[in-house]
Amino acid sequence: MKLLTIDVPRGGRPGVLTGDGDVLDLLGAVDGETIAQWLPSSVRGILEASDDGLDAVRRVLDGVESSTSEQDRLRETGALRAFDETALLAAIPDPHLILSEGLNYHSHLMEMSNTPAPEYPTAFIKVQSSLTGSGKPIIVPPQCPDMIDFEGELTVVIGQHCHRVSEADALNHVAGYTIVNDVSARDWIPGFMAAENKFGTILGWERNIMGKNLPSFSPCGPVMATSDEIPDPHDLQITTTLNGEVMQSVKTDDMVHGVAQMISYFSQWYQLQPGDMLTTGSPAGVGFGRDPKVFMKAGDLIEVEISKIGKLSNRLVAQE
């Protein structure tokens, strides 16, 4: 299944894609006297309900897809609508934690001055307020508008509470996969790279991370594909285009650290919870790594497509 979050005036509502590619509003599709009494009101809530939550979604979806008359009724009420006509939030707009793996593609390390591969996974935290949905604008910040970069990333969505899990058991804690564009203001990278002492390096890296946490700098979606649809997360194609021109085109088998290794490693510290997200690093082709460098500006369209998941699409807009 492919779960998503519909953007409605009073907050997000959980949805699912039908086999025809339409969006089914789950809360609008259920009978108010039966399953709706406990059907979670968010994608994160569905994941927190574990197998019961996903089974409930499957029953609703199967019931709608098996009845033409029910589909007609739901189209009239607006609970079943075309994907292209549906406003979306981030696939999971309210995670407790967003961890972003860095330095995790061999090809990306090569383009970034042949940076050596780290022995262990390394990640920074992104804030929930940086999330936005597919189709929503990426806001160009007036304080740092000139070096805005893209990083298309396969993103793991946690489905079960896990702490100190083994690598062998790690994938059992995955609910599914989505896409995150780790948008980055690169203004502070030159200072970080030129730092001559440890303190300068720390300060430069801190400002670099803050340049990844601006509002709308974590587009996410359009959907979360459940893990049964992606048996091998290392066999996916990532393609990022800027105004239609291919910038990144890499298979996920280029990762330095695999998904299971990342989950196990970070769970030694973090208590990972359903709905939490782990972005798995950016492949080669980022704007900063090019010669000449390529940065995004207002009016540009950036799209990240990952096989078996979908296409995350956002246009940059100047802040008013």
CA-nearest of 69, 67, 43 to 57 is 43
What is the structure's pLDDT at 196? 84
pLDDT tens digit string along 43-91? 999 999 999 999 999 999 999 999 999 999 999 999 999 999 999 999 9
Structure tokens at 197: 């002492």
Specify the CATH architecture of the domain 98-318. Alpha-Beta Complex (3.90)
Residues 6+ apart with CB under 8 A from 308: 225, 229, 230, 236
pTM greater than 0.85 (yes/no) = yes
d(CA 13, CA 44): 11
What are the residues whose beta carbons fall under 8 Å from the beta carbon of 59, sequence distance 6 or more?
A: 35
pLDDT tens digits along 253-280: 999 999 999 999 999 999 999 999 999 9
- Tell me how far apart the alpha carbons of residues 157 and 272 are, in angstroms, rounded to a whole number: 10
Any idea where the domains of the chain sit in the sequence?
2-85, 98-318
Q: Write down the pLDDT at residue 32.
A: 53
Per residue in 201-241, pLDDT tens?
888 888 899 999 999 999 999 999 999 999 999 999 999 99
Give the residue with greater pLDDT, 38 vs 242: 242
